[in-house]
Amino acid sequence: MKLYDLELSGNCYKVRLFAALIGIKLELVPVDIPGGAHKRTPVIELNPLGQLPVLVDDDVVLRDSQAILVYLARRYGGNQWWPDGAAQQAEVMQWLSTAANEVQHGPNTARLIDKFGIPLNKEQALAVSALLLSLLEQHLNQHQWLALGRPTIAECAVFPYVALAWEGGVTLDPYPAVRAWMGRIKALPGYVGMSGIA
């Protein structure tokens, strides 16, 4: 199974992390985003948006880190990570949506500005980060995990850019419950980090 990958990408790391947690092997295909390789063959044929990650598993080709997590969990991970029941699935799904919205537009965007010099709106990114982190802090004050009382793919979707928030100038100091949750994730069997996340 191939993952078109960029080491520094938190979206790609979501997939690498989950694969490590469930013990499946990925063939990583490094893509030179600074050199524009994501807008050329073969990536552009696999994902017309020209974005990473892209997963190729035999005849299955998928873009979007959240969709890839669902696929891997359903196909290889078992319902511990992506449950069967309607209400349970929706409980996980709301965090996958949070990853694609508030996490993307908050700490991920702040990092794109500070670390990669991409001209986006920092003030707005900090405001969305504050909203996201207070939501997480409130939730994690009462729960050990984001959904279902156990680790699910919601952790893999939300954790990376929260853990990388410092690279965008967003401090987690006022959020002890978030920091404790990150510690629980790092203690999971099979856990791997990435550059910027111990």
- Give burial (CB, 10 Å; 0-12/13-18/19+) of 33: middle
156 binding ligand GSH? (CB under 6 A): no
Closest alpha carbon to 125 in 92, 157, 160, 169: 169
53 binding ligand GSH? (CB under 6 A): yes
Site string for ligand GSH, 7-26 (x = CB under 6 A): --x-x---------------
106 binding ligand GSH? (CB under 6 A): no
64 binding ligand GSH? (CB under 6 A): yes
Q: Which two tokens stand for residue 128?
A: 């969305």
Site string for ligand GSH, 33-52 (x = CB under 6 A): x----x-----------xxx
- Residue 139 identity: H
Rounded to 10 deg, the angle between the 176-186 and 153-163 helix axes is 120
65 binding ligand GSH? (CB under 6 A): yes
196 binding ligand GSH? (CB under 6 A): no
Question: What does the alpha-carbon distance between residue 162 and residue 49 come to, in Å, rounded to a whole number?
Answer: 25
Contact partners, residue 158, CB within 8 Å, separation at least 6: 95, 98, 99, 103, 136, 146
In angstroms, give the least distance from the CB of 194 to ligand GSH.
Answer: 12
- Residue 14 identity: K
In angstroms, give the least distance from the CB of 21 to ligand GSH.
Answer: 18
| DSSP 8-state class, residue 166 | G
Nearer CB in complex with ligand GSH: 38/105 = 38
109 binding ligand GSH? (CB under 6 A): no
Q: Which range touches ligand GSH (CB under 6 A), out of 59-67, 78-86, 175-183, 184-192?
A: 59-67
Residues forming the site for ligand GSH (CB under 6 A): 6, 9, 11, 33, 38, 50-53, 64-66, 100
